[in-house]
Chains A and B, each alone.
Chain A
């Protein structure tokens, strides 16, 4: 087991090298002089030169890359010229809303996806199966910003049940925080529940064809008990993995949802960074989101190996 963990950890190193290099190259893909682009057309040549020096753009590129690696590994993501503080600090301030949104959405996705997948698999090609899988297909195709707008229109504007936009931090009370987060969580969770439902159904169908299920049925167990105690428990392993992967995907999906609902999280930080041409912030936010994504995927893999001993020998 420890060998598997070590191998999996070592495999992350080249991934991180590519990730950091790509994020470093972002600045150099900007057409023209990045410093001039950042400062806008009204900046003087002196100001541009000063920023170039401050960002290290006057150094040879390999030196810039090495400095970027060294800084990133120390947790130093540079400084934001517009927010006037270290990017790392700006990122840390924005973690709470994004993390909460991701967790709430995951709860929504699992609560919809798993029961829908099981019900669909219980009678393949039955009415429920067709209805759920039809909705799941639709869930994959509907843009989540559109779901957000529909929810805002009906639940917030027409019926006045919940606030349309904004955010209340956890420190102002869980109830208040939840009031602001229900619509965003439903938006993001609905899309992802489609994936969970499809995978749960597929796993259940696989398991339901196995001999031990036939035995369970043959010894006279009610169908409900077969599904609940024999099939679902065995289908749980791949489903748990998908839930983990979903958690990682949700972090990316949170960006769009945050922008629609005006939630001050990492996604809003990233998009406002782009619109202000605040590239250190963009790099910092992308790096943080991606590092979290990599870390969650790693944890999922390790958990999978823990639950299913076949993996580590594979």
Chain B
């Protein structure tokens, strides 16, 4: 049963030396993981960047005096100045305000997609991994959905559902859910063979209890890492869909929409696209730093290879 690939996956859930260890050993591994997370520089840097973006989104009304939707044709295409930090667009809207308010769409889409893919993916993965009768059906559906290039599937769903922010969340959740399901499924396959799960079952615990209370906690580390990356993909994908004109409706100040409008005026007013693009890049950087650092901190296989500080 314990072939090479199973062993490799087992190290996600518990240290290799404790592949057949009890639940307290797994809990200890989680404790060590948590300590490493708090000591990681990348985790702090990534979190700091994200906190900054979150502050932008929440504090937007206090950080700018301009309404992002207010059209002011007399002041169109103004270069950055003290009155308009990031200049104005073709309708005279303040690009600084558009960038601040745009972070709301990106964060809402990113966080919702992360949360929904985690819930739906975990349920799908647990069902497929724990109930063998569902295994084939659910995993073949996941394979089929993963066979599409991600952005193409998202575009396809947006074509049918229509350009709305809620639809972007639905489309991206369907696109990324199978990835979370696959990770959960892999972890469950390993965990269901471990002796403490067998013990829980022998003690008369019901399937749902075993799946959610005994198996799920040991799949959390890879899921947290995956969730962070899905957040990053979703922010970028939302911007891409909106840029292509199939994401958020054009009147909503999302970063992709502003860049789309700014792209057409790149020769006359390059600042319109510049600042939202920088915002996307910085947000992506924060999430990727966080994801990479969590991955290094939570994956026991990398413990011996820690970089010298």
Binding site for B on A (CB under 8 A): 14-19, 21-23, 26-27, 29-31, 125, 137-138, 140-143, 145-146, 149, 152-153, 157, 248-249, 251-253, 255-256, 259-260, 270-271, 273-275, 279, 282, 286, 289-290, 293-294, 297, 314
Contact = CB atoms under 8 A, between A and B. Distances in A.
A90 to B, nearest CB: 16
Nearest to A273: B159
Given A153-B270, A260-B263, A27 B307 contact: no
Interface stretch (B13-21, B67-75, B273-281): B273-281
A26 B141 CA distance: 16
Contacts of A145: 240, 243, 259, 263
B266 interface: yes
Contacts of A314: 4-5
B156 A23 contact: yes
Given A138-B281, A153-B270, A157-B266, A22 B159 contact: no
A145 to B, nearest CB: 5
A273 B156 CA distance: 11
Given A14-B140, A140-B288, A293 B162 contact: no
Given A18-B141, A137-B288, A259-B244, A149 B263 contact: yes
Interface stretch (B97-105, B113-121, B145-153): B145-153
Given A143-B240, A274-B246, A290-B149, A17 B266 contact: no
Contact of A286 (B140, B145, B152): B152
Contacts, number: 145
Given A18-B143, A145-B240, A274 B159 contact: yes
Contact of A294 (B147, B162, B273, B280): B147
A282 B4 CA distance: 43
Nearest to A137: B288
B303 to A, nearest CB: 15
16 contacts: A14-B140, A18-B140, A22-B156, A26-B160, A141-B232, A141-B280, A143-B259, A149-B266, A252-B152, A255-B155, A256-B151, A256-B244, A279-B159, A286-B152, A290-B149, A293-B149
A145 B145 CA distance: 25
B149 A18 contact: no
B140 A141 contact: no
A148 B147 CA distance: 27
Contacts of B248: none
Contacts of B109: none
Contacts of B289: 137
Interface in B65-103: none
B157 interface: yes
B147 A30 contact: no
A208 B246 CA distance: 46
A274 B161 CA distance: 11
A293 B143 CA distance: 13
A19 B147 contact: yes
B232 to A, nearest CB: 8
A255 B243 CA distance: 12
Given A29-B160, A282-B159, A314-B4, A252 B243 contact: no
Contacts of B157: 26, 29
A61 B264 CA distance: 43
B292 to A, nearest CB: 8
Interface string B25-51: 000000000000000000000000000
Q: By DSSP majority rule, is chain A's interface helix, strand, loop, or mixed?
A: helix
Contact of B277 (A19, A30, A143, A279): A143
B123 to A, nearest CB: 19
Nearest to B159: A274
Contacts of A279: 159
A244 to B, nearest CB: 14
A27 B308 CA distance: 55
> Interface centre among B140, B244, B281, B289, by most A CB within 10 Å?
B244
A138 B288 CA distance: 9
A26 B285 CA distance: 34
Nearest to A30: B160
Interface string B252-272: 000000010011001100100
A31 B161 contact: yes
B140 A255 contact: no
A249 B150 CA distance: 9
Contacts of A259: 244
A293 B145 CA distance: 12
Given A125-B307, A125-B308, A282-B159, 9 more contacts: A14-B140, A149-B259, A149-B273, A248-B149, A252-B150, A275-B245, A286-B148, A286-B152, A290-B148
A255 B241 CA distance: 11
A297 B160 CA distance: 27
B223 interface: no
Contact of A146 (B151, B246, B277): B277
Contacts of B149: 248-249, 251-253, 289-290, 293
Contact of A253 (B151, B159, B162): B151
Contact of A153 (B240, B266, B280): B266
Contacts of A274: 155, 158-159, 246
A304 B90 CA distance: 52
B298 to A, nearest CB: 17
Contact of B145 (A22, A152, A255): A22
Nearest to A252: B149
> Interface centre among A149, A153, A271, A289, by most B CB within 10 Å?
A149
